[in-house]
Amino acid sequence: MKKLSWWAAVLLAGSVTGAMAQGLGESPWQIRLRSVHLDSVNKDTTPLGLSIDNKTFAAMDFTYFLSKNLAAELFLTTNQRQRVFSNGADIGSFKHSPPTLMLQYHFTDFDGFKPYVGGGVTYTRFSGVSLPPGVTLDSHNWGAAFQVGVDFPIDKNWSINLDVKKAYIRTDVYADGSNLGRLRVDPLLYGVGIGYRY
């Protein structure tokens, strides 16, 4: 249901603003494929000394240009499995897949590159939690997200993309129902990829 809500929001934005995109001389849609490295801040307020591993994975986004400068980006990836450590010892894992919706401003006055900035919201659902008996996490989290990036056009359709996102992802940790504190993942996401505007 949550995933359907994300798609509905994007489709609604597209239908409401489709008329604004007319006359741009190019399609309002862009898709990017990226290799993304997740670098967690790993701040923990529990007595367990919790942290997760950093990892690199594939991701994609769909961007809809509302005008020449304004765009909405939906960032997606598959369920990612993260190892969980307690004071450096491997104690289990969980899965998460945080779709992120951004509103972007694209700067168009530069020759040979197109930088942009964005801000929005990320939703994280924690699943497949496999931790010591009695230890559980919140099932989901909403948080803010910000980004900076740049597209280097190859031709009118293709571009190379560099992108950095900061996402605020946190979860409370429980032991036998008692709240032990909070694990702040709050990762930086470094991405490099290729984009196609069609």
Integer Cα distance of 38 and 77 in angstroms:
12
Q: Per-residue pLDDT tens for 37-96?
A: 999 999 999 999 999 999 999 999 999 999 999 999 999 999 999 999 999 999 999 999
Tell me the whole-structure pTM to 2 decimals. 0.82
CA–CA separation, 55 and 68 (whole Å): 35
Q: What percent of the chain has pLDDT over 70?
A: 87
Is the pLDDT assigned to residue 8 strictly greater than 50? no
Q: What b/e readout covers 47-69, taking b as 16+ CB neighbours within 10 angstroms?
A: ebebbbeeeeeebebbbbbbeee
Structure tokens at 170: 């946190």
Main-chain phi, psi angles of 134, to 5 degrees: 90, -15
Instruction: Please state the rounded mean pLDDT for residues 12-33.
Output: 62
Q: What is the total residue count of the chain?
A: 198
Please name the residue that has the structure tokens 């509905």: 8
Look at residue 25 in the predicted model and tell me its pLDDT.
Answer: 60
> With 50 as the cut, is the pLDDT of residue 6 above it?
no
- Asked whether the beta carbons of 177 and 194 are under 8 A apart, the reply is no
Which option is the CATH number for 2-7+30-197: 3.40.50.2300, 2.40.160.20, 2.40.50.140, 3.40.50.2000? 2.40.160.20
| Mean of pLDDT values over 8-22 | 45
Structure tokens at 113: 């590159």
Report whether pLDDT(24) > 60. no
DSSP class of residue 77 equals -
| Distances from the Cα of 134 to the Cα of 43, 155, 174, 175, 179, angstroms | 21, 55, 8, 5, 11
Q: Which of 56, 153, 69, 168 is nearest to 112 (CA)?
A: 153
